[in-house]
Structure 1
Amino acid sequence: MTKTIKDLSKETLTDFQAKLKGRTVFPSDSEYTETCKVYNGMIKKSPGMFVMCVDVADVIASVNFARENNILLAIRGGGHNGGGLGLCDEGMVIDLSGIKYVRVDTSDNTVRVGGGNLWGEVDHATHPFGLAIPAGIISSTGVGGLTLGGGVGHLSRKYGLTIDNLLEADMVLANGSFVTVNADQNQDLFWAIRGGGGNFGVVTSFKFQAHPVKTVFGGPTLWPVEKTQEIMAWYHSFIEAAPEDLNGFFATMVIPGPPFPESLHLKKFCGIVWCYTGDLAKAEEVFKPIMAMNPLFQHVGEMPYPSIQTMFDGLLPSGFQWYWRGDFFNDLNEDVSAQHLKFGSEIPTPLSQMHLYPITGAAARVGAEDTPWAYRNAKYSGVIVGVDPDPANAGKITQWCKDYWEALHPYSSGGAYSNFMMNDEGQERVKASYRHNYARLQKIKSKYDAGNLFRVNQNIAPDTATA
């Protein structure tokens, strides 16, 4: 039977604390309430103990302690997970925020990153060298969570998903052992963590391949929401044929306020946020067909790559209410775009929105079995997010999100990107997200974590036939 931290004796906890370099935080401590906070303010969980790890030894001690005492265990990197899977009630949270470093090796353009880093910290370190690692679109996102789930963002069409650029990782396994995984060592684990989430261990270090990205040409183009179907049809044909240097994700949204012009505030739009990494001398030519669509508003131009990664940070700070749902899509036909027009016209709060990220170019050239990320043939990864700072609006944004998703789901490919899933969607949705790769993941889970110690996640249940 799973125990809680309250079930353990003071002596047991004291002995454990003596093995740590980092500190522990309990409900009786003054910093506990602040430590409980994660990016999604809708998440309210009460762990029995946080272990604020500062090195691998702390992680090993914590994993061993949780396993030996049968304590529910959660792993928190950046705390960005929508479902709040970096927390658990009454159990232990291994917090990796103290394991931070970014080391750039210019001899081969590789980057070593700590398990607790945020992507903004990585961009800050790589940018002076004219390098970038494909990641998401918000700089406060944790490196660990985004990477282990896949990693879709501005550079996906040019350089693939984040997992396609992962070369190596250091991990602490359920039995407390420390391993390095890469193409030559522990190949089964290396395969599994490139999309299989936190099911297989605690990743304390990542090694990535970086790419030459310094200054990009990009920004948003907006049209009135009433033009959603027209712009979506054009976008669908345009983006797949566009040069891979050009990425653009489609959105329905409300303009909440500054830094946008006052004339746009609180009006509903469809839009595309562009990022072009090619020859800047050719940027205006590349953008000619985009501007020919006569956007009502555009703010595109040259900017440092970290600027496009932080473009939305100010609008979406930590602590807001979030509820999201995702699906993969192959088509944006009239039936699909009609639903986007309908629900885009009914956005309930100024920060709620829908995004469609293209999965074409480099991201689509990886085989469907080369990583657990099974939807390489999908054209888009879609996500609907209800967002608002006021807890009183949590029900409203959740219902809009669910209704929007239910209307679109019949047109989807059937599965979701695991980073866009809440924790209330059920095991069948987890299976659908991995498709034909789920059975292989189960076998690897059984080999390395038969007791399912790492289960506070989009869980891959151990295969009882092989456990």
Structure 2
Amino acid sequence: MSTVQDLARHIDELAKSFAGHLLQSSTPGYDDARRVHNGLIDKRPALIARCAGVADVADALEFGRELGLEIAVRGGGHNVAGRATIDGGLMIDLAPMKGIHVDAGRKVAHAQGGATWREFNRETQLHGLATTGGVVSTTGIAGLTLGGGVGWLMGKHGLALDNLLSARIVTPDGKILTANAEENSDLFWAVRGGGGNFGIVASFEFKLHPVGPMITGGLIAHPFERARDLLHFYRDFTQSLPDELIVFAGLVHAPDGSGTKLAALVCAHCGDESAGAEAMKPLKAFGTPVVDAVGPISYCGLNSLLDAAYPKGALNHWKSSFLSQLSDDTIDNLIECFARCPTPMGQLLLEHFHGAACRVGVSDTAFPHRGAGYNLVVLSEWLQPADTRKCTQWARDSYDALKPWMSPGRYVNYLGDDEGSDPTAAAYGVNYPRLQKIKAKYDPYNILHMNQNIVPAP
């Protein structure tokens, strides 16, 4: 692109057929549209193409490609690294594309790429159906599914990507492809974990399962002084869970803003209520909690239970890696790190993997992390820009302190934007060379590289 006038002329040409909205810095709504969930990200695209449908996605992608613009793609905009936006380039925004259709008879849902899990669950739960979605309801279905898909149902029904039946994809060369087990199966393998590297996924088809509307779940919190005992209990308890039960642990702060540190468990049982109540007995019987909010809860209620802890616009810096086990030394260091947390919104989280999510072969999908264990998230979150330095430093220092107990694997959806070296190979492990070959087939010029990028094979 040589001049501002050239860009304006091409935008005018695109606008003749574009059904959505084209936003520039002077357009009303631009400032709101450019912001993603993480308030630490403050970028200004030259153009935001808010797409109304697949044709808009295809036209916007062609526009960016022909003009040589850097291209970012936004679904829900929840990615902590801010990969959904860009300075000076083109943001292709799927947020307006929220169509959801549930075929209750076939137990299948079709959803466009701008939908969030709150919107998706609202439609599927009308029929007592669900698929594995995010643990926070404001998360977009697209990014979560394409990168993995940790959620409350993953013990029983696998990750979000394990429930993907088909995807409608706009590739960088302008083709509209369906990817499933029979059609473009290599692409289907790659998008189940490989993120947005191969094209823009305009719509998804998910397998649904009978869930709810009422399940059993909630939060139990103990005083921080009991954190060691609670994490030892958590380690032992998670060695033999039924598939229906998911339990995550966290060193967190009280939600009242007081800064009071707590040790907490958040749990969900997706089976019938009597089995759920029985499964929760050991959790409820342990110690003397200061909060016990575990009991019957709607699936939608559980899925939004943690939303208030992650408000849009809060400043976030995350670090993450897998732990194959929770040794005594790991637990002690987790507690020591959290004791130094400078922000009342900071957390250290442990997401337990077991059950159906671990009964898929390492190379059956692009997502390779199929062993039982824990995903550690060092989550620093704060509200005042003046606190940025100390809060980001705490996340980095805590992550470094815990490195001796980490496994090699990384969860691509939690990768930050300050990695000292490219972490993508660690995120995909043995699957990375195959992903590079598929990237070279569908995006040989790496047009879609404003993501956790897979470099095309030469």
Change in Cα spacing, 1:413 to 1:393, as seen in structure 2 (3 Å) is same
Q: 2:298: which partner in 1?
A: 304
Between stretches 274-283 and 53-62, larger displacement belongs to 274-283
1:192-203 alignment runs, 5 A limit: 192-203=190-201
1:425 maps to a residue whose letter is E
- In the superposition, the TM-score normalised over structure 2's length comes to 0.97
* CA displacement, residues 291-339 of structure 1 (integer Å, 9 cap, x when unaligned): 2312422111101100011112223221000110110110100111011
Gaps of 5+ in 1: 259-264
1:140 maps to a residue whose letter is T
Aligned-residue offset at 1:367: 0.6
SS at match of 2:263: strand
CA distance in 2, matches of 1:10, 1:289: 64
Aligned-residue offset at 1:5: 7.9
Aligned-residue offset at 1:7: 7.3
CA distance in 2, matches of 1:389, 1:88: 22
Q: 2:43: which partner in 1?
A: 45
Q: 2:230: which partner in 1?
A: 231
Q: 1:245: which partner in 2?
A: 244
Indicate the RMSD between aligned Cα atoms, in angstroms: 1.5
Change in Cα spacing, 1:269 to 1:442, as seen in structure 2 (3 Å) is same
Q: 1:164: which partner in 2?
A: 162
Q: Is the 2:425–2:432 contact (alpha carbons within 8 Å) kept by the matching residues of 1?
A: yes
Change in Cα spacing, 1:44 to 1:183, as seen in structure 2 (3 Å) is same
CA distance in 1, matches of 2:206, 2:93: 22
Q: Is the 1:253–1:347 contact (alpha carbons within 8 Å) kept by the matching residues of 2?
A: no
Between stretches 61-70 and 114-123, larger displacement belongs to 61-70
Equivalent in 364, 367, 373 of residue 373 of structure 1: 367
* Residue 291, structure 1, aligned to residue 284, structure 2: yes
Q: 1:101: which partner in 2?
A: 99
* CA displacement, residues 332-385 of structure 1 (integer Å, 9 cap, x when unaligned): 001110111101222221211121111110100011001111111141111111
Aligned-residue offset at 1:43: 0.2
Between stretches 225-234 and 325-334, larger displacement belongs to 225-234
Q: Is the 1:134–1:160 contact (alpha carbons within 8 Å) kept by the matching residues of 2?
A: yes
Gaps of 5+ in 2: none
Change in Cα spacing, 1:290 to 1:9, as seen in structure 2 (3 Å) is closer
* CA displacement, residues 32-80 of structure 1 (integer Å, 9 cap, x when unaligned): 2222111000001110000010011111111111111111000001111
SS at match of 1:288: helix
Q: 2:216: which partner in 1?
A: 217
CA distance in 2, matches of 1:76, 1:9: 21
Q: 2:76: which partner in 1?
A: 78
CA distance in 2, matches of 1:85, 1:350: 26
Q: Is the 2:215–2:276 contact (alpha carbons within 8 Å) kept by the matching residues of 1?
A: no
* CA displacement, residues 238-295 of structure 1 (integer Å, 9 cap, x when unaligned): 113021111110101010318xxxxxx5311111101011221233322222123124
1:143-154 alignment runs, 5 A limit: 143-154=141-152
CA distance in 2, matches of 1:434, 1:269: 34
Q: Number of residues paired by the alignment?
A: 456
* Residue 388, structure 1, aligned to residue 382, structure 2: yes
Aligned-residue offset at 1:426: 5.0
Aligned-residue offset at 1:127: 0.8
Q: Percent identity?
A: 37
SS at match of 2:266: strand
SS at match of 1:290: helix
* CA displacement, residues 389-423 of structure 1 (integer Å, 9 cap, x when unaligned): 22222222211111111111221112210111112
Equivalent in 153, 171, 183 of residue 185 of structure 1: 183
Change in Cα spacing, 1:282 to 1:9, as seen in structure 2 (3 Å) is closer
Change in Cα spacing, 1:9 to 1:163, as seen in structure 2 (3 Å) is closer
CA distance in 1, matches of 2:246, 2:65: 44
2:129 maps to a residue whose letter is L
Q: Is the 1:147–1:163 contact (alpha carbons within 8 Å) kept by the matching residues of 2?
A: yes
CA distance in 1, matches of 2:202, 2:456: 23
Aligned-residue offset at 1:82: 0.3
Between stretches 110-119 and 392-401, larger displacement belongs to 392-401
Q: Is the 1:157–1:358 contact (alpha carbons within 8 Å) kept by the matching residues of 2?
A: no
CA distance in 2, matches of 1:221, 1:379: 21
Q: 2:342: which partner in 1?
A: 348
SS at match of 2:429: helix
Equivalent in 138, 141, 154 of residue 139 of structure 2: 141
Q: 2:174: which partner in 1?
A: 176
Q: 1:21: which partner in 2?
A: 19
CA distance in 2, matches of 1:406, 1:183: 41
SS at match of 1:380: strand
Between stretches 329-338 and 385-394, larger displacement belongs to 385-394
CA distance in 1, matches of 2:181, 2:217: 35
1:282 maps to a residue whose letter is A
CA distance in 1, matches of 2:130, 2:263: 28
* Residue 401, structure 1, aligned to residue 399, structure 2: no
SS at match of 1:462: coil
CA distance in 2, matches of 1:364, 1:283: 22
SS at match of 2:196: helix
Q: 2:317: which partner in 1?
A: 323
SS at match of 1:79: coil
CA distance in 2, matches of 1:124, 1:5: 46
CA distance in 2, matches of 1:447, 1:406: 37
CA distance in 1, matches of 2:298, 2:438: 41
* CA displacement, residues 214-252 of structure 1 (integer Å, 9 cap, x when unaligned): 111111111222322222222122113021111110101
